[in-house]
Amino acid sequence: MTPGKLADDIKSELINSFEPEEALELSLGLGLFHGFSKLLIALGREPEEMETTVIPTPTAPEKPANFYIDSSHELAGLLAPSPNLRDRWLHLEESLWEMDAFPTAELRAIQLRIAKLLGVPDEYLPPIQVTAKADLEFTHFADSFLFDIRSITSKDTEEIRGQYGDVGLLHLMMCLAIYDGIYRVASTQIHTSLDQGDTE
């Protein structure tokens, strides 16, 4: 609920168990699973019952992604231990901003609100400005999404659906899920801790 830098015992265990690329893959997977699970809950898609199924853990793609990636992106350094996953994540984020189904100014305000609530280091913050007006109407969804997902009611989602349609609602929830996930990774700074551990 309140991610931060790794505790010394967890840091030591990770250093002894994983390479930086492996730790990034693990933390990014956990972050995105966390965010998208809450997306399902907010959209009323959480199953009432779910059988336990044992399946092999999927592996990261072996072939490099064929996307043009701006290396100056503020999160490129965070994801640098795995260029393959970095490029795919940045492509996912780029796709979010190309949807154009929900007001961009509102989404940017939500993005910054999530970063602030999770205590993201300045180096990972996007170089954007948010107007005071955009910071008012929908940023409360960031608070609810992060800390009390079940406080987002069907009435709340229906109001957004009525104003922006199904795709607009999905666009908003995708933004919440993606930044909930990646900013938790940024807050823990797992690969930075591993890199520092190599020199200790």
Q: Encode pLDDT of 30-81 as tens digits.
A: 888 889 899 989 988 766 666 767 777 767 667 777 777 777 899 998 998 8
Tell me if 29 is assigned to some domain: yes
pTM: 0.82
Greater confidence (123 vs 129) lies with 123
What was the pLDDT predicted at 22?
87
Three-state SS letters, the chain: CCCCCCCHHHHHHHHHHCCHHHHHHHHHHHHHHHHHHHHHHHCCCCCCCCCCCCCCCCCCCCCCCCCCCCCCCCCCCCCCCCHHHHHHHHHHHHHHHHCCCCCHHHHHHHHHHHHHHCCCCHHHCCCCCCCCCCCCCCCHHHHHHHHCHHHCCHHHHHHHHHHHHHHHHHHHHHHHHHHHHHHHHHHHCHHHHHHHHCCC
Tell me if 3 is assigned to some domain: no
Instruction: Please name the residue that has the structure tokens 């908003």.
Output: 172
Tell me if 1 is assigned to some domain: no
What was the pLDDT predicted at 199?
42
Domain region containing 30? 8-44+69-197
pLDDT digits (tens, 9 = 90+) for 88-100: 889 899 999 999 9
What was the pLDDT predicted at 165?
96
Tell me if 166 is assigned to some domain: yes
What was the pLDDT predicted at 175?
95
Tell me if 53 is assigned to some domain: no
Q: How far apart are CA 29 and CA 50, in angstroms?
A: 20
What was the pLDDT predicted at 196?
54
Is a pLDDT exceeding 60 seen at residue 198? no
Q: What is the mean pLDDT of residues 181-198?
A: 72
Number of domains present in the structure of the chain: 1
Tell me if 176 is assigned to some domain: yes
For the record, the structure tokens of 164 come out as 């922006």
Tell me if 64 is assigned to some domain: no
Tell me if 185 is assigned to some domain: yes
Is a pLDDT exceeding 60 seen at residue 1? no
What was the pLDDT predicted at 30?
87
